[in-house]
């Protein structure tokens, strides 16, 4: 039996980024992007009134939801009681405090499958959430995240465009990202002021390891910290006195600006810097 939540069981709070998905067709499309298989474990960020949760529960997968709003936690616990929904667990708290890496490792040890992540998330903490996922990339299979369309476009931006930047590089290093679905404001209550998009991040063939990710991102951040300046200025502090630096390669990049460098260029420059 499918559960239909009472209309607006929770009064939406702006500070928690609460825009509840009301379009059932879109909800189903988003869930299908997760390509759920048996033995999958799904982490849902910010389930709210359960627009996605109720569809996820139609699958045989384990679900670990993470919700900050106590009212939503209470609502979900009473709608999906443990006795009837033994595969549904709810962590009450801030997703940024959830030990995703340890959780994922435990899932892999137990099921031999990496978890999948889904969320129509609070847009004000999109960046925090994405970096939390990127840092767990080696332990995740994929993520389907609904975010503000502008942010989605930054993720898939090309070099030499104004959207190209830290988020683009981080996404490409950790995953294969793709805008899979555009979602109009009318699909939510209340209507957000912006368009939305569901982005799929495939973590199964990352460009670099998490270890390399931690090494190259400081260079990317410095480069784009002053994106109008030549790299010789913006990354001055990253030049070490080590003798394993490759000066000729560094010189080749120094008259360029960060937005002119491809992901591969950043990797080459980083290793030329001996980092
Ligand atoms: N996924 C639901 C709700 C989207 S609104 C839907 O599609 O309808 C965003 C949800 O994230 C809300 O339920 C909000 O309470 C929750 N949320 C906000 N900040 C959070 C945080 N720091 N950690 C976890 N959940 C959070």
234 near 131, Cβ under 8 Å?
Answer: no
Where on the phi/psi map is residue 184: left (φ > 0), alpha (ψ -120 to 50), or beta? Answer: beta
Whether 7 has a pLDDT exceeding 70, the answer reads no
Determine which residue's CA is closest to atom 13 belonging to ligand 1: 48
Q: Is the CB of 20 under 6 A from ligand 1?
A: yes
Task: Convert the pLDDT of each residue in 115-162 to its tens digit.
Answer: 999 999 999 999 999 999 999 999 999 999 999 999 999 999 999 999
Task: Convert the pLDDT of each residue in 238-273 to its tens digit.
Answer: 877 666 788 899 999 999 999 999 999 999 999 999
What number does the ligand 1 atom closest to the CA of 69 have? Answer: 15
What number does the ligand 1 atom closest to the CA of 98 have? Answer: 23
Cα 94 to ligand 1 centroid, rounded to whole Å: 9
The C-alpha atoms of residue 202 and residue 175 are separated, in whole angstroms, by 5
Tokens standing for 264?
């591969």
Domains of the chain: 14-202 (3.40.50.150), 210-272 (1.10.8.100)
Q: Quick one: average pLDDT of 48-53?
A: 97
The C-alpha atoms of residue 239 and residue 55 are separated, in whole angstroms, by 51
The C-alpha atoms of residue 59 and residue 64 are separated, in whole angstroms, by 13
What number does the ligand 1 atom closest to the CA of 44 have? Answer: 1
Mean pLDDT of the chain: 94
Q: Is the CB of 198 under 6 A from ligand 1?
A: no
Least confident of 191-195, 223-227, 240-244: 240-244
φ, ψ dihedrals at 228, nearest 5° = -90, -10
């Amino acid at each position: 039996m499918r559960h239909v939540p009472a209309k607006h069981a929770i009064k939406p709070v702006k500070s928690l980024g609460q825009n509840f998905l009301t379009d059932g067709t879109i909800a189903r499309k988003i869930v299908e992007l997760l390509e759920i298989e048996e033995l999958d474990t799904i982490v849902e960020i910010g389930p709210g009134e359960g627009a996605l949760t109720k569809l996820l529960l139609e699958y045989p997968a384990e679900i670990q939801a993470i919700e900050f709003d106590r009212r939503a936690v209470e609502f979900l616990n009473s709608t999906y009681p443990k006795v009837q929904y033994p595969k549904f667990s709810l962590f009450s708290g801030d997703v940024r405090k959830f030990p995703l890496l340890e959780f994922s490792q435990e899932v892999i040890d137990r099921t031999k499958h990496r978890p999948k992540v889904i969320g129509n998330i609070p847009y004000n903490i999109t960046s925090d959430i994405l970096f939390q996922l990127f840092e767990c990339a080696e332990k995740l299979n994929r993520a389907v995240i609904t975010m503000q369309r502008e942010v989605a476009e930054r993720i898939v931006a090309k070099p030499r465009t104004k959207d190209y930047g830290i988020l683009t590089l981080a996404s490409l290093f950790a995953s294969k990202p793709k805008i899979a679905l555009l979602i109009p404001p009318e699909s939510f209550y209340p209507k957000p002021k912006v368009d939305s998009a569901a982005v799929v991040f495939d973590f199964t063939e990352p460009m670099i390891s998490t270890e390399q990710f931690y090494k190259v991102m400081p260079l990317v951040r410095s480069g784009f910290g002053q994106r109008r300046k030549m790299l010789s200025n913006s990354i001055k502090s990253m030049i070490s006195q080590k003798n394993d630096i490759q000066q000729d390669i560094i010189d080749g990049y120094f008259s360029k600006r960060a937005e002119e460098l491809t992901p591969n260029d950043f990797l080459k420059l980083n290793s030329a810097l001996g980092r």
